[in-house]
Amino acid sequence: MIRILPALILLAPAAHAQQTEWTGFHGDGMAQKYSASTQITPENVSDLEMAWEIHTGDVSDGSGDIPGTVWSATPILANDMLYVGTPFYRILAVHPDTGEIAWTYEPDDTTLEPLSQPELKNRGVTYWEGDGEGPCARRVYIGTMDAELHAVDADTGALCADFGEGGILDVNQWNKPDANFPLSQLQPPTVFRDKLLLGWAGKDWHDAENPLGSVFAIDARTGELDWTFHAIPEDYDGVTGTANVWTAMSVDEENGLAYLPVSSPSADFYGGTRTDPIPLATSVTAVNGDTGEVVWSRQLVDHDIWDYDTVAAPTLVDIPGDGGTTPALVQPTKMGYAFVLNRLTGEPIFPIEDTPVPASDIPTEASAATQPIPTLPKSPIGDDWGGVFGLADIASFGYCSRKFEELRYEGRYTPPSLEGSLAYPATAGGFQWGGGAVDPENGILYINSSRVAQIYQLIERAEYDTMTTGGSEAEGGLFPMTGTPYGFSLTNFLNPIGMPCWKPPYGLMSAIDLKSGETLWERPFGQTQQWGFYMPESWGSPTIGGPVVTASGLIFIGASMDARVRALDAATGDVLWKAQVDAPAVSIPAVYDFKGQQYVVFAVGGNSIIKPQVADQLIAFTLPQ
Amino acid sequence: MPDTLPPAHRAREELVANLMAVPAVIGLALAVTAFVRRGSGIDGTAGAGLAILGMAALAAAALLVGRLSPGRFRTFVTVMILIGGLLTLICAWFLMQGWLMLAVALTLALWLIFILVAR
């Protein structure tokens, strides 16, 4: 734990606005995913009907010249307009009540190539408005995989000439000259006052040496660099890299702080080439939003060799209590732990224990002896993988049992090994980038999680060099980890007919009382699908995407494999409404009021990690007028 | 085996068999629609393809069985309709296609009537 500045303020006023717009990736900068809208209630949600839908046309299954698409945009409601970005880096401005397209921004020279990621990805756009009126007083920004950030006028879609060069900022100007990938702008920037905070995504698992993790703060009007945050000491250049911020950030403008969920350093599954501590890697780090200076940081995984990137923006909430409120943040992680910290000091609100974990048997590895594990809230995915799933074992004539016997497994944080280690949870999470939603009125967190077991295997370099690199996070594969003595194999622990070898449920939705840390309810969420066949609801589904909670006591969420969007009762977790959409809605919905009517809008794009089905559907639901 | 049944009895059998084909054909249309319609939840999946095959086989067998003379082959086709219908019903259940399940159930109900008529 690094504390650069001591805590100054212990109590902060409740900072949640009565939001009925949806102006950012999480609705607001605090990543609460909370809507004050109350028109749709548990009593009438079953009456929801489709208000409108559009198909953007920006979709690819990867079978042609264009790589496959992953569309996880949160639609933004601001300026009486709904803005959404696409995986082809276009911006659509849509009338919020009719779905009619007002304008479209199409970049001139778009590179639709998988430069850093295997698929074209987009998580939407950022909206910012400054003082004054006139062209570009209000702006919409979209990033590209080739590290450009485009700024357009929110009223017309015309490029803002005063931003970067002619409206386009080359973020790659701040990359190292010989970098092996561009600083891809897939996650929309986070707004901090008149600044935009830019993280970046890179190419995971390929090399040990990568660009060193950084966050850039730029002037929202001009694109000029204001400050840079570095996650890795510069003398590590050429040895390691990443520890970047590829997911969203959150901001506490009142206290002048920005919160950075920092990912793991490279190489992702072998740390023998980076044995010196990198304290800001796999951390949640608070920086002064005006200067970039680190205020406090808490490392969530010591010497990360599991690719346990800090995966989501921390949710900021003032937890109500008898003696006032506590300014807190909730940091979801791939490990399925939600770290609840005082957001001004980084101190834990619930104790964190340094717990002994298994040691690596790779002689040149230097795995950590302990890992920080929060005592509360209880992880929804459990502390053990739960054993072989009997049905999958029988269906494969004992394959799952035999395979498990070959693997190393000593509980959580079992290090990657030459014989293969069962990783539970694995890089797929636990929690994912969608994070949780919190009701600031009662301090209850609602969060979806996945229970996934994968096999991590290191392969001696000489042997690896006889193999063919290839694969994906979705299907597993071989990854070179160039610059280390080992290549890496990732395998989903499935039987030969594709059934998970671990027991269901595969996905959960949980409600956690942040005042006590106790789990109020926990339910299997979604349905797993194979070849079109739906598995029992009690099995749940792995999820990608996040929930929204409303003041009326509803949770809206897509995220599941079965391509349905749902409304849950926040009090019980019961599914009160669901609708079929074109693909898994791997996104965070937007909830807003417009002209006296409440809408819930989902971007439905799919993600091959949970199901090979893509779409380009933007669909809005509302009550009958 | 010579067909010794009275013409009126044969006509009843054929009528019931043709009626059995009606829900099977409707089920076939439903399965095809689910396979091709984006957003059906099972579009383009192997499971939906299997449902199409199952319903097509049921429809064809229903049309065929009414035209067969009593004998081993007709018994075989009759039993296959039952087995195919049950398997397609299970398939539709796992695909969560309620209308398809109803179509298969109607086909099987008419199969039962066919058995009673054909005794």
Residue A541: the pLDDT is 97
The structural domain count of chain A equals: 1
Provide CB contacts within 8 A for A575, sequence distance 6+: A566, A567, A568
Strands A564-569 and A617-622: unpaired
Per-residue pLDDT band for B34 (boundaries 50, 70, 90) equals very high
Residue A108: how many CA atoms within 13 Å on its side-chain side? 5
Q: How confident is the model at residue B119 (pLDDT cuts 50, 70, 90)?
A: confident
Comparing CB atoms, the residue among A531, A563, A564 nearest residue B47 is: A531
DSSP-based three-state secondary structure for A45: helix
Interface test with B, best of A499, A528, A529, A533 (most B CBs within 10 A): A533
Report the SS3 class of residue A172. helix
Assess if residue B1 is contained within a domain.
no
Task: Find chain A residues with C-beta within 8 A of B94's C-beta.
Answer: 533-534
Predicted pLDDT at B118: 83
In-domain check, residue B57: yes
Which is the catalytic residue, given A307, A393, A562, A616? A307
pLDDT at A470: 78
A162 is catalytic: no
Is B61 within the bounds of a domain?
A: yes
A573-592 burial: b if 16+ Cβ within 10 Å, else e: bebbbbbebbbbbbbbbbbb
Range of the domain at A17: 2-622
CB-neighbour burial class of residue A235 (10 A; exposed 0-12, middle 13-18, buried 19+)? exposed
Residue B69 lies in a domain: yes
Domain CATH number, residue A354: 2.140.10.10
How many domains is chain B partitioned into structurally? 1
SS3 (DSSP) at A235: helix
Report CB contact under 8 Å: B40, A580: yes
Q: What's the per-residue H, E or C state across A360-411?
A: CCCCCCCCCCEEEEECCCCCCCCCCCCCECHHHHHHCCCHHHHHHHHCECCC
For B25, the domain range is: 7-118
Query: Per the CB < 8 Å rule, is B41 touching A564?
Result: yes
Q: A582 and B46 in contact by Cβ < 8 A?
A: no
Q: Is residue B2 in a domain?
A: no
Question: How much is the pLDDT for A110?
Answer: 81
* Residue at B99 is within a domain: yes
* Residues in chain B within 8 Å Cβ distance of A531: 45-47
Query: Residue A373: its pLDDT value, please?
Result: 98
Q: Let me know if residue B79 belongs to a domain.
A: yes
pLDDT recorded at residue A9: 38
pLDDT digits (tens, 9 = 90+) for A515-535: 999 999 999 999 999 999 999
* Chain B interface, best mutation among A534, A562, A602, A613, by max B CB count within 10 A: A534
Closest C-alpha to A350, from A336, A365, A339, A335 = A339
% pLDDT > 70, chain A: 96
The per-residue pLDDT for B3 is 57
Residue B41 to residue A580, Cβ atoms within 8 A: yes
Q: How far apart are CA A472 and CA A479, in angstroms?
A: 9
Per residue in A580-602, pLDDT (tens digit) is: 999 999 999 999 999 999 999 99
Amino acid A11: pLDDT: 37
Question: What single-letter DSSP state applies at residue A166?
Answer: T
Q: Which residue type occupies A195?
A: K
Residues of chain A with pLDDT under 70: 1-19, 473-474
Q: What is the 3-state secondary structure (H, E, C) of chain B?
A: CCCCCCHHHHHHHHHHHHHHHHHHHHHHHHHHHHHHCCCCCCCCCHHHHHHHHHHHHHHHHHHHHCCCCCCHHHHHHHHHHHHHHHHHHHHHHHCCCHHHHHHHHHHHHHHHHHHHHHC
- On whether residue B108 sits in a domain, the answer given is yes
Sign of CA dihedral B70, B72, B73, B76: positive
Which tens digits make up the pLDDT trace of B46-105? 999 999 999 999 999 999 999 998 999 999 999 999 999 999 999 999 999 999 999 999
